[in-house]
Amino acid sequence: MRIQYTTDIKIVRVPCTGKVDVLHILRAFEKGADGVYVVGCMEGDCHFNKGNFRARKRVEQARGILEAIGIGGDRVRMYNLSSSEAPRFVEYAKEMDQRIRELGPNPIKLPKANKAA
């Protein structure tokens, strides 16, 4: 299909979204990511039964923490699609890209950059 989507998204492959931990999400922000979204299989279609539900809970947990520390909970999101839905993958990529552009860069990057200068 070769559908194009923004190059600003870095894909981290995991065997199942159930592998994604709240710490992985937080570390991504700590290292300067402007947003993180987790794309799992459709709910009810998890090969490991509960992996994508677990991921959703962890995304919610990360959202709460990011909100509490002033980074912004909207920077993290969970999406679900089936593996053959490339157009939808691109749609979600665009949606997330748009959302993050509206929110602006990760606020911790600015103090970090100032310190380095």
CB of 37 to other proteins, least distance (A): 18
- The residue type of 66 is L
Length of the chain: 117
Contact 60/72 with Cβ under 8 angstroms? no
Q: Between residues 74 and 107, which has the closer beta carbon with respect to other proteins?
A: 107
Q: Between residues 9 and 105, which has the closer beta carbon with respect to other proteins?
A: 105
CB of 106 to other proteins, least distance (A): 9
Q: Between residues 71 and 93, which has the closer beta carbon with respect to other proteins?
A: 71
- Contacting positions for other proteins (CB under 8 A): 22-23, 26-27, 29-30, 65-66, 68-71, 107-108, 111-112, 114-115
- In angstroms, the CA 110 to CA 23 distance is 22
Nearest to 78 by CA among 35, 26, 37: 37
CB of 82 to other proteins, least distance (A): 28
* CA distances, 62 to each of 44, 52, 58, 115 (Å): 23, 15, 6, 26
CB of 70 to other proteins, least distance (A): 5
